[in-house]
Amino acid sequence: MEIQSAYQEELEKLEHTSAWIDRKLSELQSVPRYFGDNLTEQVLDSIRETARHNLSGATDEPYFGRLDFKEPKDASSRQLYIGKFGVDHDTSGEPLVIDWRAPVASLFYSFTGGEGPASYEAPDGEIEGLVYLKRNLVIRKQILQRVVDTYDRNSDSPAVTDEFLLYRLGENKDNKLRDIVSTIQAEQDKIIRSAKNTALVIQGVAGSGKTTVALHRLAYLLYQYREQIRAERMIILAPNRMFLDYISSVLPELGVGHIQQTTFEDWALETLADRITLADESDRRARWFAYGGEKPVIDDEAPGRFKGSLRFMQAIRGALADFERCFVPESDFEPWPGAKCSADKMREWFHEEYRHYPLMKRKERVEGRIKRWLEMELNETRDPNVRKERKKKATQKLKTFWKTWPDDTPFAFYRSLFPNSAREDGASSRTLGDLTIPAQVAEESVLAFRKNKVYPEDLAPMMLIYNGLYGIDGDRTFDHVVIDEAQDFSPFQVALLNNHVKSGSFTILGDMSQGIHAYKGIRSWDEFLSLFEADDRAYFTMERSYRSTMEIIRFANAVLANGIPDAMQAVPVFRSGEKVKMLCHDRKRRTDTIVRALRKLESGPASTIAVIGRTEQECKQLHTALLHEDISATLIDAQRQKYEGGLSVVPVHLAKGLEFDAVILIDADEEHYGANEHDAKLMYVGCTRALHDLWVMYAGKPSSLIAGTDDEFVKHIEA
């Protein structure tokens, strides 16, 4: 079919669909909402409300794709229009627009050309047929802007599968991550549509769409399992508030609301409302992200690694078990001579009758039981004066007796596992069984605890203790948990979360090559995979990178390979752009060179630009220097809550997860980026933030991470 006639055909179809949607929507809007008690009316109202929601969502861009599919039983192929919201047809029953999450819509994503049959998984089993046409459509505010056929069985010309994707990838970005429903790729679709009760672990290169895919997966799960799961019971755990702000548009764009989005720290602190606050980590960060000199040693004794380990978790479980065993004190309760509630009895209640409850609940139950026992004993006292006197004394005695029972808060309990003094020998054999707390960990912890402060790695242990004491109530259980940037999570955190999620329903995603927080993160995905049974987990890799041009990806790959020879290399989609610009400048003219590059970029098409520096301190100084040059940029520091877009100055370790049309990576010299794994990961993160344009600047000797990068994708320019 020729483009002109295809366009005409689609124009007519769009007019028809839009008119139908507008008419139907206004009909529905004229029906008042029902708030009465009649069940049938309530159901009808809810159906109307869903239809109103879908039709409003579909008004401006009713669909983005068309697939002509013929099953063997059909005489001719059916035209399936795929959109963000399903729209049912009134009379024929054939949907006017099919929701992108519906089983048949998966064909649109999984079919990548070829003469052979295609199939999809319907509720009643696999359905096979032939695809005749796959067409992408761009509609904005009911206006048809673009028609691209990516497959046509009746055409002689070969399929242009990637044309539409490249068109989308070439667009500039604003300050928010966007949905990708119209261009989801087959390997991404597979992950999005994976079964609910599986712990998915995804290793994906920078820009492979991990975050985006995880968000689409949530929308898919809500659609596919709508009877079993609720949005309020799903949670996304991301590294910081600014990142959450950056991704906050995707779910509303997909018509999904109410999913909890937070950081692990905020989630835990909400529960541990226990007078504790997080210790300031700026010194730690400064030490870890400083350049040159010796890096702090990262072994399994480092605080984050140690406290995030499963052996520490086992030790805490052991301490909780000891606590439980000795919970009921040895002494009987004897309110007056001759009346005795024995310790044995109380132990029986505590350890047997109430064993299914968490510890503090058991304590509450035993207390109620003692009070009832006391009432009965008092009732047997005939003389009212004696009874009165006994009651008074017994109440007093019970109060005193009750004080001998444990009343620990999670913090008090956790703190008691550490030595009392920072100078004391780190070993704490009493409560932690065989496990010795390394001296440096004990020292740092004790100093913080004294000020009622804890480190982020203390939160998972404290949550485990909290759960042992108070249990996990319904409000804290989830139908699904997403962990983004999971390479920075610990096995303890994931194991803890597993207690909060039903049926191990997880999406865990990250990139080991971006593991710049090695002092707390994992070394291999096996550390998480081993937490789940083989049948309950799945591991995916995403190797194609969609964010950056081919030149930028090849450059970033070279940087990574120079620092970590066996790291997974990103495979670029064939989107060619400008070469990476390498610029050697005079040390004294650093600001001047950056300003000139910025002025050049600002006069070009880029709408988001970042200058990526090495440390927070250096970025702060540069930010001030730029202000003196009348260049106003947003300084991204660890406290920032919102990502504004426009021009940003950002230290490389805080750029993770973000993306910009153009990036200027400054100070790419030998001093700032050494030839080691850590610096290679940092520089890799920095380079892979750029979508279309990457500038790399240095004074003096270039870092050996960028030495020898190929002229095929690098252009050396004069400062």
The two beta strands, 143-152 and 125-140, are: antiparallel
**Does the annotation list 207 as a binding residue?**
yes
Q: How far is the CB of 179 from ligand ATP (least distance, A)?
A: 8
Of the candidate spans 199-207, 311-319, 411-419, 676-684, the one that interacts with ligand ATP by CB under 6 A turns out to be 199-207
Q: Which of residues 632-671 bind ligand ATP (CB under 6 A)?
A: 657, 659
Is 575 a binding residue for ligand ATP by CB under 6 A? The answer is no
Instruction: Name which of 13 and 135 has its Cβ closer to ligand ATP.
Output: 135
| Cβ at position 145, least distance to ligand ATP in Å | 17
Distances (CA, A) of 168 to 152, 163, 222, 476: 21, 9, 26, 39
- What is the closest distance, in whole angstroms, from the C-beta atom of residue 213 to ligand ATP in the complex? 7
Q: List the end-to-end C-alpha distance of the chain, in Å, as a whole number.
A: 52
Pair of tokens at residue 238 = 């991301």
Q: Would you say 209 is a known binding-site residue? A: yes
Contacts 24+ apart (CB under 8 A), 371-377: 371/398, 373/341, 374/335, 374/341, 374/398, 377/335, 377/339
Cβ proximity of 614 and 651 under 8 Å: yes
Q: How many CB atoms lie within 10 A of CB 131?
A: 23
Q: Which is nearer to ligand ATP, 320 or 570 (CB)?
A: 570
Question: How far apart are CB 184 and ligand ATP at their closest, in Å?
Answer: 5
Residues paired with residue 561 on neighbouring β-strands, in sequence order: none
Q: How far is the CB of 254 from ligand ATP (least distance, A)?
A: 13
Closer CB to ligand ATP, 457 or 485, in the complex? 485
The 3-state DSSP class for residue 310 equals helix
> Considering beta carbons, is residue 184 or 662 the nearer one to ligand ATP?
184
Of 48 and 168, the one with the shorter C-beta distance to ligand ATP is: 168
- Please, what is the minimum distance in Å from the beta carbon of residue 560 to ligand ATP? 12
Alpha carbon 455 to its chain centroid, in Å, reads 21
Provide the 3-class DSSP secondary structure of residue 480: strand
Is residue 208 a contact residue for ligand ATP (CB under 6 A)? yes
Q: Near ligand ATP by CB under 6 A, which window of 210-218, 298-306, 625-633, 661-669?
A: 210-218
Question: Binding residue for ligand ATP (CB under 6 A) from 83, 86, 209, 686?
Answer: 209
Distance of CA 696 to the CA centre of its chain: 30
Q: Cα separation of 25 and 15, whole Å?
A: 15
Quick check: 688 binds ligand ATP (CB under 6 A)?
A: yes
Within the chain, what is the greatest distance between any pair of CA atoms?
Answer: 107
CB of 57 to ligand ATP, least distance (A): 20
Element (H, E) at 651: strand 647-651
210 assigned binding-site residue: yes
Within 48-77, which residues bind ligand ATP (CB under 6 A)? none
Phi-psi sector, 667: left (phi>0), alpha (psi -120 to 50), beta: left
Give the range of 8-16, 27-35, 208-216, 489-497 binding ligand ATP by CB under 6 A. Answer: 208-216
- Residue 515 counted as an annotated binding residue: no
Residue 269 in the binding site for ligand ATP (CB under 6 A): no
**Comparison of 346 and 690: residue with beta carbon closer to ligand ATP:** 690
Residue 210 engages ligand ATP in binding (rule: CB under 6 A): yes
Q: Which residues pair with 122 in a beta bridge?
A: 125
Span 130-189, contacts to ligand ATP by CB under 6 A: 165, 168-169, 177-178, 180, 183-185, 188
**204 is an annotated ligand-binding site residue:** yes
Beta carbon of residue 221, minimum distance to ligand ATP (angstroms, whole number):
17
Count residues near ligand ATP (CB under 6 A): 25
- Please, which residue, 169 or 341, has the CB nearer to ligand ATP? 169
**458: number of Cβ within 10 Å:** 23
Q: Which of 547, 554, 640, 653 binds ligand ATP (CB under 6 A)?
A: 547
∠ CA 315-318-322 to the nearest 5 degrees?
A: 140
- Token digits for 101? 């999450």
For residue 173, what are its two tokens?
Answer: 């970005």
Tell me how far apart the alpha carbons of residues 315 and 140 are, in angstroms, rounded to a whole number.
Answer: 58
Site for ligand ATP in 491-530 (CB under 6 A): 511, 514
Query: Given candidates 100, 151, 327, 546, which one binds ligand ATP under the rule CB under 6 A?
Result: 546
In the complex with ligand ATP, which residue's Cβ is closer, 204 or 613? Answer: 204
Nearer to ligand ATP by Cβ, of 304 and 657: the residue is: 657
Q: Where are the beta strands (DSSP E) in 232-380?
A: 234-237, 260-262, 277-278, 333-336, 339-341
Q: How far is the CB of 693 from ligand ATP (least distance, A)?
A: 15
Closest CA to 100 of 223, 250, 240, 274: 223
Q: How far is the CB of 181 from ligand ATP (least distance, A)?
A: 9
Question: Is 206 annotated for ligand binding?
Answer: yes
Q: How far apart are CA 216 and CA 100, in angstroms?
A: 10
Whichever of 83 and 335 has its CB closer to ligand ATP, that residue is 83
Name residue 132's amino acid: Y
Q: Is 686 annotated as a binding residue?
A: no
Rounded Cα–Cα distance for residues 611 and 663 (Å): 6
Structure tokens at 129: 């047929």
- Please choose, from the candidates 633, 709, 608, 629, the residue with its C-alpha nearest in 3D space to the C-alpha of residue 668: 709
State which H helix or E strand residue 69 sits in. Answer: strand 65-70
Residue numbering of the annotated binding site for ATP: 204-211
Which residue positions form the known binding site? 204-211
Residues binding ligand ATP (CB under 6 A): 165, 168-169, 177-178, 180, 183-185, 188, 204, 206-212, 511, 514, 546-547, 657, 659, 688
